[in-house]
Structure 1
Amino acid sequence: MKYMLLIYGDELALSKTEREQCYSDSAKLAHRLQSAGQYLDASPLHLTSSASSVRVRDGKSLVTDGPFAETREQLGGYFLIDAEGLDAAIAVAEQIPMAKKGTVEVRPVMEISGLPLSHE
């Protein structure tokens, strides 16, 4: 089953050096997951200051700068994995470097028909 591991944290809490180390450690984890046949995708996100939020109401688009919600922790990146179950997905989430400083939300991915196949 596919799981999305959403990584939340205070995007200003890490120094540049700590952020680069986090990226390096995350890349190493991605390679270990690839070797185990669990890796599907992963990526950090740019800071929320680069975000735009889009809402369509009554056929009209409203685009605003910034994230959807003001929170203490922001969505900073993700891993998309294939795991045998929730316990296996949680075991991977525990290995994500930002789990030590923020939160990793583990959510199963719904499989629906009609979507194009990924570029695997």
Structure 2
Amino acid sequence: MASKKLPQNIDLASNLEVAAGFFSNSSNSASDQKRDASPSEKPKARKNPGGRPPKTGLKNEQFTLTMPPENFEKIRILAKQYADGNISRLISIAVESFCMEKDIDFSAMTVDPEIIERYKQKQEKRKKTKY
């Protein structure tokens, strides 16, 4: 009896079959009939699964910073004020600002393709083991 629950918005007067299934011990309730459906019926694939689209290319990675705790707390305060609390974004903004001050073209810098390939392989391996 405890496993059966009625929805809160049900009108018992118009849904006598549901009410009869709730108050009786018979196994002919609607949920049992759904479970007894033939296994040959496969669920239809959803056309639009919803959610975020899968990201293409390299995904963000986590890295570790080593610094005094007082400096880290100061950076958290700055991140709340200037980067919506996102420390990674604050660091990116700070590096871009540093490069502009020192006349460094950060966007023109290139990384060795072998290093990028290692990140891609690592992420592919992680994707394969995850699912």
TM class by shorter-chain length?
A: under 0.3
Whose relative contact order is higher, 1 or 2, with alpha carbons under 8 Å and at least 6 apart? 1
TM-score, normalization by structure 2? 0.19
- State the structure with more CA Rg: 2
Q: Which structure dedicates a bigger proportion of its chain to helix?
A: 2
Q: Which structure dedicates a bigger proportion of its chain to strand?
A: 1
